[in-house]
Every structure is written in structure tokens, then in C-alpha cells.
Structure 1
Amino acid sequence: MKKIYKKLIDAAEEAIYIGLKSPSLFVKIMNTISVIETLENQLNNLLNEIHSLMKSNRISEQFKKNVQLIYSIPGIGELTAITIMSEIGNIKGFVKAKHLVAYFGIDPSVNQSGKFNSNKNTMSKRGTRIGRRALYAVALASIRTSRSGEPINKVLLTYYKENLNGKSKKVALVAIMHKLVNYIFSVLRNQKEYEIRDPKIHIKMYLNNGSTTAA
């Protein structure tokens, strides 16, 4: 970040030197950098407080375990896992995955087979707005690849490419969010970390034992 600040300062000084702008440009850039640094410090302090709280005995061990279970899903960071778990509260309040889907306000759900009758599926947007925003960010991350070219979440990226290609971005992301909620419900209900499985194996296991396991 300091390198970026230096580049901005150098650019402002160079602009003054060659006469592109008045010295006020330099002042504006310096003020902007000061605001960014202040916000960055406040954010770091907030993150430190959250991490300290998670390590304290003020948070139940069950909550901490549930955060780690959600964190085990590729594409979900630790802070996002804390946010989602904070919004969910007690998973026992949701009998089925569809109840959690409704709570996040992403119903009516998109058919997971990818065979849609419409390209204009909309979310109800009821329930937790913060949780929905967190899910949206995770959905975007889940269909991307790392710098090395490895998919963040191979199952969701494959699903996106095979079943959602050509659909509107909104419809595609709602479908990914819907799957993510099912994953979250599964790991919390079964108290087991996320496991990547081929969708065909997942379907076979589902039919055999009637339970929803992480894909």
C-alpha cells in the first residue's frame, strides 16, 4: 500500500513540475491519501477486535466450530464465515436448506439442474441483507481461478460453465448462491467440513441415505 501512496505523491509532484495542474492537485492527493490511511487503520483495528473476540471465552466453542466449518468451503474467507454465521445464529432454527435459502432472501431458487424456463429469475430479497451481500461476494469468488490458474471451487466453476453459460449474470450468481447456502446448511447440520465430490457421486449418496452432503 505504501508503494501506491508513493506513486500518487510522485505523480502529483511531477504534475506540478511540468505545469499540468496547479499545486492544489498535490494537496488534494495528500488529503485523499490521509483519508485512505485513516480508514485503513480503522479497518485493521476492527479486524483485530474481531479476531480477539473470536479467541476469547465470550464466544461459544460451538459458534467457533461452526465458523470453521463454513470456512472450510472454498471461496469463503474467515471474516466472511464469521459474518455468515453471525447472521444465521442457531442453525437448528432452520429445518431444511430451503428455509435457510429463504432467510438469505435468494428465493425463489433457481433449478439446480440448470434447465431454466426463464432468464429473469429474481430474488425475494427478504431476510438478511448483510448475509446476502456476503453470499454474493463468495459466489463471485467461487467461479474464479487463482493466479496459478487453479479454480477456487472446482465444483461450482464446472457447474457454472456447464449449466449456466449463456444465462444472465444475475441468474447465474443466484444459482451459485443457492448452492452455497445448501453447502453451508450441510456442513452446519452434519457438523462436518466441506468435501469436494463429483456431482454424480453426491447425487448417488443423497439418494442412498436421504441426506444433504456437501458436493
Structure 2
Amino acid sequence: MASLTRMEDIAKDLPEYELVGEMGGVGRVTRVALIAQIGDVRRFKNKHPLICFAGLTPSIHESGKFRASQNHIVKKGPARLRKVLYQVMMLLVMHKIPKDDAVYRFIKKKEAKGKYKKVAKVAGMAKFLRIYYGRVMHLYRDLGLAA
């Protein structure tokens, strides 16, 4: 627990600390873990490299005219980041409509379309990262810290 307190003390100095804590499904531990695993968001040109970094892009299976329709995610990048994101999705779904409900509604929409719950949560993880990237980069631009 002492290491978590130390990590929080370091993370509190970052501009995005409060912003990330306001996102739905993010608590005290997951906020620090997300910031630590993602690192400086400004190193990504846009949201797509961040999603690729997390390993949430679908793999491609093609041969000749065959093209697979059900593909797994590539799982390249830090597994711990995917675990933290999945924990956030679990927390979102467990609560009744959270304050910041864009990802919650997205997951529920996917489930209503017939997607398996786990598939919907993985899609929610990518949606969460897109929102995370947009909000943090907007904050950095407002502070004049973005390149």
C-alpha cells in the first residue's frame, strides 16, 4: 500500500490526474495505474496509435479470397494496461448508469446488438481510450503543453 501512496504522490503533479479520476469507472487505484501504463499521451500522434499500443486492434486473417470475419485482438503492448482497462469496464457495467456514461452506453448498445459481453467490453476499452486521449490532449492544449 505504501507504493500506491508513493505513486499517487508522483501522479498528483501531472495535469491529467484530476481529469482521469472524473472518468466513469476510474477509481483511486485504476487512475494511477492508467496514467502509469499509458505514460505521456503526447507521444501518440492521435488516438489510433494509442489503441494500437494497448493491443486492442483486431488481427487480420486473410488468404487469397478468404477473409475471416471473427478476429481476436492483437494483444501487443502492455498486458497490464489491458487488465486495468478491463477492470474499468467491469466497474462501469456493475454500476447503474455512471455519471460519465458514454462508454457505459456504448457497451450496452453493443450487447443489445447481440455481441458477447466480453466482446462488448473490449470494444468499450477502445472507446474509453479514444475518450481518454481526446480529453487529456484537450487539457494539454488548453495549458499550452501540447506540441
Distance in 2 of aligned mates of 1:99 and 1:53: 26
Inter-CA distance 50–169: structure 2 relative to 1 (3 Å threshold) = same
| Root mean square deviation of aligned Cα | 2.4
Inter-CA distance 67–157: structure 2 relative to 1 (3 Å threshold) = same
In structure 1, the residue matched to 2:91 is: 141
Distance in 1 of aligned mates of 2:20 and 2:11: 16
Residue type of the partner of 1:48? A
CA contact (8 A) 1:106 1:174 kept: yes
Q: For residues 102-138 of structure 1, what are the alpha-carbon distances to aligned partners after superposition, in whole Å with 9 as ceiling and x for unaligned?
A: 11111139xxxxxxx95x3411100011111000111
Greater RCO between the two (CA within 8 Å, min separation 6)?
A: 2
The equivalent position to 1:106 in structure 2, one of 56, 72, 85, is 56
Please tell me whether Structure 1 or Structure 2 has the larger radius of gyration of its CA atoms: 1
Counterpart check, 1:84 vs 2:34: yes
Aligned pairs (5 A) from 1:48-87:
48-55=2-9, 59=10, 62-63=13-14, 65-87=15-37
Paired residue secondary structure (2:121): helix
Structure 2 gap segments, 5+ residues each: 60-67, 141-147
**TM-score for the superposition, normalised by structure 1:** 0.54
Paired residue secondary structure (1:123): coil
In structure 2, the residue matched to 1:26 is: none
CA contact (8 A) 2:86 2:125 kept: yes
Distance in 2 of aligned mates of 1:60 and 1:54: 5
In structure 2, the residue matched to 1:190 is: 138
Structure 1 gap segments, 5+ residues each: 1-46, 110-116, 193-215
Deviation at 1:100, TM superposition (A): 0.6
Paired residue secondary structure (1:143): helix
